[in-house]
């Protein structure tokens, strides 16, 4: 590659202007968030016809709704008449959407159903539906959408790695289904959105950024899976390809259910239900492995017991919003435990995201004023090193790259795919 982004994104480094240049942000909103697949939510959030939630795709607000026929629709959150925003709440249940400006009414499928004072309206209502996403798809209940309609199959976007991450999470439920019933909570952070695919997938920083967590909870499972440097654990950093990456903690767990901080005897009914669905061998494996820690390009973070979205706001602002994993078919005691874990890790007064947010905001300040290198050169100020672990990274026949959990394999995975998308959709 020889284009603009090939000059700014190298195999072992990226330039800091990628985080601060507003022209680059505009191109990202088009090439990544409008013309690619974006994670929106979960089918459990719109379980019944008429259920809807409002979500962003890039900078555009959309309504994710289940229509009367049970189909999932992703509709522009603006009236087809004069562009007034239709829904101001985050979620609701309705039989129609009505604009409060001139009273135009739209069905749950986005079709224009009624126009006020219709004698003066001489157009065909069939020609005036709400704008809608060009493609909508789901995998195990996770809903994705693409506005342009030419992003290709969702299965190709997720790849084998992305599908596997989602399936490992859902298989922890005795019914095979999870739900998002715990609700969303988020952090508004003064940093570029790309710092969060990096931070969420970085296994190198926990000893330092999250030192307070290690002091407060000295026996947490990160101590055996991530903390302590290269010689203390055998966890892996994986690039599955296509912008899908993972910190694979499974090889370092020393006992089953370490990820849940409990033992089999305390959640016996859950373990029995899991075994009834999967058989003993598969259930034992799931109880040992726990939920994955992975990222699916561009905005879905599967953070063990959390599901998070990365929603860009502008070049220097992002919303990092998350919900706790909730398992279908288990008693509420177990799901409450998952909520409490989520609050401790990602909540507003938690050990992890607030610390990461401080680092991201300081990085954003540090990158201010940088200009792209002249003539595509790689000298000069503002380059960020991402070379850690390249020499010991292995590569499988299917292209998967594997390094130590402290290696920057996952960050390189994000940037390698970012460069491909930004160049190929130029």
Reported as a single tens digit per residue, the pLDDT across 81-96 is 999 999 999 999 999 9
Q: What pLDDT is recorded for position 223?
A: 79
Tokens of 396: 């499988």
pLDDT confidence of 80, banded at 50, 70, 90? Answer: very high
**CA dihedral sign, ordered 247, 252, 257, 262:** negative
Backbone angles phi, psi at 269, to 5 degrees: -65, -35
Q: Is 410 exposed, middle or buried (0-12, 13-18, 19+ CB in 10 A)?
A: buried
Q: What pLDDT is recorded for position 376?
A: 61
Please provide the DSSP assignment of 240-258 as one string. EETTEEEEE-GGG--STTG
Q: What pLDDT is recorded for position 48?
A: 98
Q: What pLDDT is recorded for position 20?
A: 96
Buried (b) or exposed (e) across 253-268, using 16+ Cβ within 10 A?
A: beebbbbbeeeeeebe
Tokens of 41: 């939510």
Q: Considering the chain, what percentage of its residues have pLDDT values greater than 70?
A: 98
Question: What pLDDT, in 10s, does the model give residues 365-402?
Answer: 999 998 888 766 666 789 999 999 999 999 999 999 99
Strand partners, 76: 62
* Lowest mean pLDDT across 115-124, 260-269, 377-386: 377-386
Residues contacting 191, CB < 8 A, separation 6+: 19, 316, 317, 318, 357, 360, 361, 363, 364
Residues contacting 234, CB < 8 A, separation 6+: 251, 252
- Rounded distance between C-alpha atoms, residue 298 and residue 192, angstroms: 13
* Nearest alpha-carbon partner for 28 in 299, 382, 412: 299
* Nearest alpha-carbon partner for 210 in 187, 226, 224, 186: 226
Higher-confidence residue: 161 or 218? Answer: 161
Q: Indicate if the pLDDT at residue 213 is higher than 90.
A: no
Question: What pLDDT, in 10s, does the model give residues 266-282?
Answer: 999 999 999 999 999 99
Please name the residue that has the structure tokens 């284009």.
3
Reported as type and span, the H/E element at residue 309 is strand 306-314
* pLDDT, average across residues 23-52: 98
Q: What pLDDT is recorded for position 112?
A: 98
- Rounded distance between C-alpha atoms, residue 93 and residue 243, angstroms: 35
Tokens of 169: 């999470």
Work out the end-to-end distance of the chain between its first and last CA atoms, rounded to an integer number of angstroms.
Answer: 12
Cα dist. 383→202, 259, 379 in Å?
18, 36, 8
């Amino acid at each position: 590659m020889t284009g603009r982004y090939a000059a700014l994104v190298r195999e072992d480094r990226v330039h800091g202007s990628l985080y601060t240049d507003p022209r680059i942000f505009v191109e990202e909103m088009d090439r990544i968030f409008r013309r690619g697949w974006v994670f929106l939510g979960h089918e459990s959030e719109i379980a019944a016809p008429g259920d809807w939630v409002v979500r962003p795709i890039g900078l555009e607000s959309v309504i994710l709704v289940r229509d009367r026929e049970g189909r999932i629709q992703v509709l522009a959150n603006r009236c087809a008449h004069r562009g007034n925003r239709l829904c101001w709440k985050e979620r609701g249940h309705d039989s129609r959407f009505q604009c409060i400006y001139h009273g135009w009414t739209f069905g749950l499928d986005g079709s224009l159903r009624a126009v006020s004072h219709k004698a003066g309206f001489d157009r065909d209502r069939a020609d005036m539906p709400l704008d809608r996403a060009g493609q909508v798809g789901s995998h195990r209940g996770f809903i994705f959408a693409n506005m342009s309609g030419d992003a290709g199959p969702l299965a190709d976007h997720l790849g084998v790695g992305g599908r596997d991450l989602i399936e490992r999470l859902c298989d922890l439920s005795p019914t095979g289904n999870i739900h998002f019933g715990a609700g969303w909570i988020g952090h508004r952070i003064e940093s570029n959105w790309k710092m969060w695919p990096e931070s969420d997938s970085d296994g190198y920083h926990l000893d330092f950024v999250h030192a307070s967590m290690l002091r407060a909870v000295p026996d947490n499972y990160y101590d055996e899976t991530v903390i302590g440097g290269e010689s203390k654990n055998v966890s892996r950093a994986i690039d599955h390809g296509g912008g899908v990456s993972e910190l694979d903690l499974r090889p370092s767990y020393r006992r089953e259910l370490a990820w849940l901080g409990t033992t089999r005897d305390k959640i016996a009914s859950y373990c029995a239900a899991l075994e009834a669905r999967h058989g003993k061998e598969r259930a034992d494996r799931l109880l040992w492995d726990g939920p994955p820690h992975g990222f699916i390009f561009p905005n879905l973070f599967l953070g063990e017991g959390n599901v998070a979205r990365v929603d860009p706001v502008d070049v220097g602002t992002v919303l990092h919003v998350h919900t706790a994993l909730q398992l279908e078919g288990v008693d509420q005691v177990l799901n409450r435990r998952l909520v409490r874990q989520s609050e401790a890790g990602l909540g507003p007064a938690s050990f992890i995201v607030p610390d990461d947010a401080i680092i991201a905001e300081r990085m954003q300040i540090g990158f201010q004023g940088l200009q792209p290198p002249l003539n595509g050169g790689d000298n000069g100020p503002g380059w960020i090193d991402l070379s850690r672990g390249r020499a010991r990274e292995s590569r499988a026949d299917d292209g998967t790259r594997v390094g130590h959990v402290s290696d920057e394999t996952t960050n390189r995975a994000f940037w390698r795919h970012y460069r491909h998308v930004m160049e190929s959709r130029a």
